[in-house]
Amino acid sequence: MKFVFAMDSYKGSLTSRESADLLSKAAKTVFGDCDTVCVSIADGGEGTADAVMDELCGERICLKVSDPLMNKVDAYYGLRRDVYAELKNGIYNGLKKDGKYGRKSVAIIEMAKASGLTLIPKELRNPLYTSSFGTGELVKDAIDKGAKEIFIAIGGSATNDGGMGFAKALGVKFFDEDGNVLEGRGMDLERVADIDISHVLSDIKNTRFIVMCDVKNPLCGENGAAYTYAKQKGATDSDILRLENGMKNYRDIIIKKFGINPDDIPGSGAAGGIATALKVFFNATLKSGIDTVMDIISFDEKIKDADFIITGEGCMDYQSAFGKVVSGVASKGKSRGIPVMAICGSLGEGYKEMYKCGVKKIYSISENVEVEEAITNAEKYFYETAIRMFYDIRNLS
């Protein structure tokens, strides 16, 4: 019997690795001799860099960068450097050097580490004054260290600057009508009169950018960056109107200068519009977070020959069906005829939608206890639930 464990984190209690270890212990208790494979996985949100680097045996690169208010902050990203080896026990994807095959250097960057909302005290949050410059600094450092593929998880940002700050850190210049160089904050959107990309880092042309994006919002309009996300980042109604007008100006300058309308790009309004800068200035690809992560870590190979896949997350509800770990894992299992079981911390409205995604059975660790108790003693209740699940699986087999 072969089990693959692909768990999301249980916020406030268990990490994905801790839950997988408990599953492995429970499986061996019930089945004795069985194969267990623990996969670190994420959906492009918090913990993505750590999960991917865990699977790729990469490293954490720590450095000081600019936070959304341009103060220095400690941040990090994941880097898996160039690896060349004889093709023996690994699967390598298309890179060859001196007769050996390998993988090119890959960086995983979370925007929230440098430009995240949680980095700013609530009383100082206002996207008119914030910049994505720090995320650009992370990317620049990764390029300097040889990264040829850069994956950017853009959730949790404090910005609504259209990615101007990010692009500025990589050499793009934004000018006002008097020829002054703009700083690249939200308030500068309305002042953009010209854009110069001739000074971008020379190595960028050899760098592939993949943006983990699960929304389809355009840059402007009622479903755009300002009207959809700016309020939760601290903007008032008048601020939102100003940001929207600024985004329209920014969009029009991009159309005039590059012949590209950001509003025609699904997801261009994501993370305060940084997706626009990445697509227009750096030809990035926008892709689902969970699909991207599964591709990077070769998830299809890991589930090959599996008899069951076990997945899970903290709260399972209707949102779980949209670009989350459980839905992504369940979809993979369903397409290959592998039964998928899920263990969640609690069940919310619409959780039954997950059965349509391919989950065979759902278990909740808080089924017979209060949620607070389940969180406090998560290890105990998770293990007990896992034991119950594996006995059910044994009876099915």
Classify residue 232 by its DSSP letter. Answer: G
Nearest-angstrom CA–CA distance, 236 and 238: 5
| Cβ pair 282, 166 in contact under 8 A | no
Work out the angle at residue 57's Cα, subtended by the Cα atoms of residues 53 and 59, and round it to the nearest 5 degrees: 60
- Find the radius of gyration of the CA atoms of the chain: 22
Complete edge-to-edge strand list for the sheet that includes strand 340-347 = 35-40, 2-7, 308-316, 340-347, 359-364
Classify residue 231 by its DSSP letter. Answer: G
Domain of residue 369, CATH code: 3.40.50.10350
With respect to residue 101, please indicate whether it lies within any of the assigned structural domains. Answer: yes
Asked if residue 138 and residue 100 are part of one domain, the reply reads: yes
DSSP states along 291-313: HHHHHHTTHHHHTTT-SEEEEEE
Asked if residue 272 and residue 257 are part of one domain, the reply reads: yes
With respect to residue 310, please indicate whether it lies within any of the assigned structural domains. Answer: yes
Asked if residue 336 and residue 257 are part of one domain, the reply reads: no
Write out the residue range of the structural domain in which residue 215 sits. 48-289
With respect to residue 294, please indicate whether it lies within any of the assigned structural domains. Answer: no
Asked if residue 56 and residue 35 are part of one domain, the reply reads: no
Q: How many domains does the chain fold into?
A: 2
With respect to residue 196, please indicate whether it lies within any of the assigned structural domains. Answer: yes
With respect to residue 299, please indicate whether it lies within any of the assigned structural domains. Answer: no
With respect to residue 298, please indicate whether it lies within any of the assigned structural domains. Answer: no
Domain boundary among 289, 313, 332: 289
Asked if residue 281 and residue 339 are part of one domain, the reply reads: no
SS3 (DSSP) at 195: strand
Domain boundary among 257, 289, 321: 289
Domain of residue 66, CATH code: 3.90.1510.10
Asked if residue 272 and residue 384 are part of one domain, the reply reads: no
With respect to residue 297, please indicate whether it lies within any of the assigned structural domains. Answer: no
| Cβ pair 10, 42 in contact under 8 A | no
Per-residue pLDDT of the chain (397 residues; tens, 9 = 90+): 999 999 988 877 888 889 999 999 999 999 999 999 999 999 888 889 988 998 988 999 999 999 999 999 999 999 998 754 443 344 444 444 444 444 578 999 999 999 999 999 999 999 999 999 999 999 999 999 999 999 999 989 999 999 999 999 999 999 999 999 999 999 999 999 999 999 998 899 899 999 999 889 999 999 999 999 999 999 999 999 999 999 999 999 999 999 999 999 999 999 999 999 999 999 999 999 999 999 999 999 999 999 999 999 999 999 888 889 999 999 999 999 999 999 999 999 999 999 999 999 999 999 888 988 988 999 999 999 999 999 999 998 7
Nearest-angstrom CA–CA distance, 275 and 279: 6
DSSP states along 319-380: GGGTT-HHHHHHHHHHHTT--EEEEEEEE-TTTTHHHHHTEEEEEETTSSS-HHHHHHTHHH
The stretches of the chain forming alpha helices (DSSP H) are 16-31, 48-56, 111-115, 133-144, 164-169, 225-229, 237-258, 270-282, 289-296, 299-302, 325-335, 353-357, 371-376, 378-396
**Structure tokens belonging to residue 352:** 């039954």
Classify residue 182 by its DSSP letter. Answer: P
Asked if residue 318 and residue 171 are part of one domain, the reply reads: no
Asked if residue 190 and residue 109 are part of one domain, the reply reads: yes
Asked if residue 35 and residue 154 are part of one domain, the reply reads: no
Domain boundary among 289, 314, 349: 289
**Structure tokens belonging to residue 247:** 């985004």
Question: Looking at residue 92, what is its pLDDT?
Answer: 40
Question: Looking at residue 97, what is its pLDDT?
Answer: 45
Asked if residue 52 and residue 36 are part of one domain, the reply reads: no
With respect to residue 73, please indicate whether it lies within any of the assigned structural domains. Answer: yes
Asked if residue 366 and residue 242 are part of one domain, the reply reads: no
Asked if residue 333 and residue 196 are part of one domain, the reply reads: no
Nearest-angstrom CA–CA distance, 281 and 264: 15
Question: Looking at residue 83, what is its pLDDT?
Answer: 56
Question: What does pTM read for this prediction?
Answer: 0.86
